[in-house]
Structure 1
């Protein structure tokens, strides 16, 4: 397959390119496009054959449901059976933005999109290019992250091309995603509403709207093999670079000491070691390839840089990656969720 790649100037959008991407989607093709969270791989959410192409292109398990992206709030009406009052509150506060809301699906949504579930996740991205492409297509767009399944999600155009060139019809974009991790997923088919994936809209932000919101405790631990995922990212190993990842969790002195011990151990075994550090600890590690996520004082920047940093270690052919951990509050919950899953829950703690 010949993949067309278009890099946009966000200050002067190429309307013809957006129109062309919309045409491809409307007619059953696959288009990778930018959102504020990560880049997405889109297909017509109502076209069973088109949706199945997503699973083929990504190598994605068929029981992993997709998120449907819309351009206008009114687009939700025909896609779901009902919108509970609490969901309306979240929509009013956080759309457009990095929040996916799970609702009872209508019969317009094929089982391939919902992975056979009676519910579907809906989101309205804040990225202007994403919404313009959805409008140009004239259909709701099912879109997981635009990467090979299991790998770190792409936050720029170049990483989409790296993973999907020759596997999709069109890749369009330009700027880096500014959130850096996938959307928060909240289940509003139950009460209290339950967070099934942490993301850019934090637990604290959601509690300001509905104080009873809670996080499913299962998402921060290794999932059971028999789990039937209600939302993307719940069951399978995700966000993983080629080298195994090990997360070291504890106070900073313990973390630095333990990582240096492991560097020495792996180096003696002849392994090339990568370390995920922060600005504050960048110079604390030796005999390793060290990448910083940014300052510990800015967890949003750490989230923004996480996936690209994991991919850099692929570029440098490391044999093992050792990562510092972060406080699990605010965006730190989303960062740690992604780190733990990238490590397959291989965690060393005090």
Structure 2
């Protein structure tokens, strides 16, 4: 469907899915609370969980926020358009539907050309598109248009809740944007709420100070719940030196096993599914969600994921995997106990 027609769907209060450089988003007019409510309904998302507002490069950020601190100006100059979301104080006339009832708002300017074309066409480039990832709440984020269609099979049919799915190819980054809170600069300084492609070190190089870790008083932000980004199959992180023995024990117990690792295993051919992953963080992030979706199709009893390095380059990927594997440490013991 042409960009202009999709923009008109948004202006009419309908939902559309569109590509960004991070993942595909499920978008609605950010100033239309009824349209934003349709996002929550489609995803099964809690109403107090904020969404991110996407803006065109030429949009007036001052329309959306109360105040733009100097730190925000510096970060925008360095990283926009790109995978960085800034949390700022929401302008009073902007509905709180996009912020889960909070007085803050998450904003970013995506770099994907299709997303930019849509934003420039929507309301003449002056509107904002509220858009969390285009998947059911808590599930693996989509990085292709087909992932969106698979996730929302009924909603994307003619007359369904989602009026259009724009195809922009596979998302380049592959994990969601870095989220930085700038609402408490006087009392806390900048606070990193969600790591991503733009690292804390890169932010610090612009800010002159390392962002603090999220605290209990931080604003709620998209994608920061303990359990998130999870396939239907339980995910368990396991050290590289333990994978082969773990797979042997599970296979001996008659279990179907899927594995995601950056090396071949001694018994790869006996697995229900195997995904060989890149050894570097950037291509690993690009492939991560597609790999989890592929392994999920194998209907295995468990997905074993090789634990990754803990250095800063892997922070965003480790964050997503730890949330995908949240509260699953008991899975292996249960599977082996049932043998």
Same fold (TM over 0.5): yes
2:163 aligned with 1:169 = yes
SS in 1 for 2:27: strand
- Give the C-alpha shift of residue 293 in structure 1: 1.9
- Give the C-alpha shift of residue 134 in structure 1: 1.3
Matching of residues 289-328 of structure 1 within 5 Å: 289-294=273-278, 296=279, 298-328=280-310
SS in 2 for 1:32: strand
Matching of residues 78-97 of structure 1 within 5 Å: 78-97=63-82
User: For 1:236 and 1:112, how far apart are their aligned partners in 2?
Assistant: 22
Question: Are the equivalent residues in 1 in contact too, given 2:240–2:307 (CA < 8 A)?
Answer: no
State the partner residue of 1:182: 176
State the partner residue of 1:156: 144
User: For 2:14 and 2:121, how far apart are their aligned partners in 1?
Assistant: 14
- Give the C-alpha shift of residue 197 in structure 1: 0.4
State the partner residue of 1:102: 87
Deviations 1:80-125 (A, max 9, x none): 0001111110001000000000000012321221001110010000
Matched pairs, number: 316
Question: Are the equivalent residues in 1 in contact too, given 2:203–2:211 (CA < 8 A)?
Answer: no
User: For 2:104 and 2:145, how far apart are their aligned partners in 1?
Assistant: 31
2:44 aligned with 1:54 = no
- Give the C-alpha shift of residue 325 in structure 1: 1.8
- Say which of 270, 279, 284 aligns to 2:254: 270
Question: Are the equivalent residues in 2 in contact too, given 1:199–1:331 (CA < 8 A)?
Answer: no
2:7 aligned with 1:22 = yes
- Give the C-alpha shift of residue 270 in structure 1: 2.2
Unaligned runs of 5+ in 2: 156-161, 331-339
- Say which of 198, 208, 231 aligns to 2:195: 198
Question: Are the equivalent residues in 1 in contact too, given 2:277–2:284 (CA < 8 A)?
Answer: yes
Question: Are the equivalent residues in 2 in contact too, given 1:203–1:215 (CA < 8 A)?
Answer: no
- Give the C-alpha shift of residue 163 in structure 1: 0.9
User: For 1:69 and 1:144, how far apart are their aligned partners in 2?
Assistant: 10
State the partner residue of 2:334: none
SS in 2 for 1:312: helix
Deviations 1:165-218 (A, max 9, x none): 332111111310000000000001123211100111111111110132324256
- Say which of 220, 224, 243 aligns to 2:233: 243
- Say which of 105, 113, 116 aligns to 1:120: 105
User: For 1:260 and 1:299, how far apart are their aligned partners in 2?
Assistant: 23
2:216 aligned with 1:231 = no
In structure 2, the CA distance between the partners of 1:215 and 1:332, relative to structure 1 (3 Å rule), is: farther
Matching of residues 32-71 of structure 1 within 5 Å: 32-71=17-56
- Give the C-alpha shift of residue 345 in structure 1: 5.0
SS in 2 for 1:131: helix
Question: Are the equivalent residues in 2 in contact too, given 1:293–1:302 (CA < 8 A)?
Answer: yes
